[in-house]
Amino acid sequence: MTSVAAGLWPVGDEEELPPRVGMRWQTRGVSRPPRIEPSGDVVARIASAALALPDAYEEDAWTGVRWRVRNKTFAHVLVAQEGYTSAYRDLTGVTEPTTVLTFRSSGDELLALANAGPPFYHPPWSPTVVGMVLDEDTGWDEVAELVTESYRFCAPQKLRRLLDQ
């Protein structure tokens, strides 16, 4: 069955949209603004930390970009925006487009980050995921550390050991 036959059609045209806003499929009758994708600079900053990790790879996600190891996502950057479901928007009530990074954590670090308040938040859809707003005040060294710790959470023991060598 084609996507058109399934009642879906492409929204927007790549040439008419701002940079990093891509074509998305939406259900017939639902009018939404095109997805805003994270800036190339933000993606590059996260990628520099994530792709330095053993067997890590980058891929486009349903929105934004994610980094994975062995099919497990350890970091995902996206723009929370009006017209789309967003745990960040639901928890904070913020309506303007906001770039957020989600990552995995555990133990005392999870507890501390989940309760730290802005720029951190705890999405209700996973007990081990923490979100962080990325803006002009972001400490990119801290982001690199959080991405690395998230990788440790998701990676098999063999790959985690490579980080300690």
Model confidence at 22: pLDDT above 70? no
Q: What CATH code would you report for 40-163?
A: 3.90.1150.30
Model confidence at 15: pLDDT above 80? no
DSSP 136: T
For residue range 95-146, list pLDDT tens digits in order. 899 999 999 999 999 999 999 999 999 998 899 999 999 999 999 999 999 9
Strand bridging mode 129-133 / 120-121? antiparallel
E strand or H helix that includes residue 49: helix 40-50
Residue ranges per structural domain of the chain: 1-34, 40-163
For residue range 47-92, list pLDDT tens digits in order. 999 999 999 999 999 889 999 999 999 999 999 988 777 888 777 8
**How large is the C-alpha radius of gyration of the chain?**
17
- The pTM of the full predicted model, rounded to 2 decimals, is 0.78
Q: Which residues contact 125 (CB under 8 A, 6 or more apart)?
A: 87
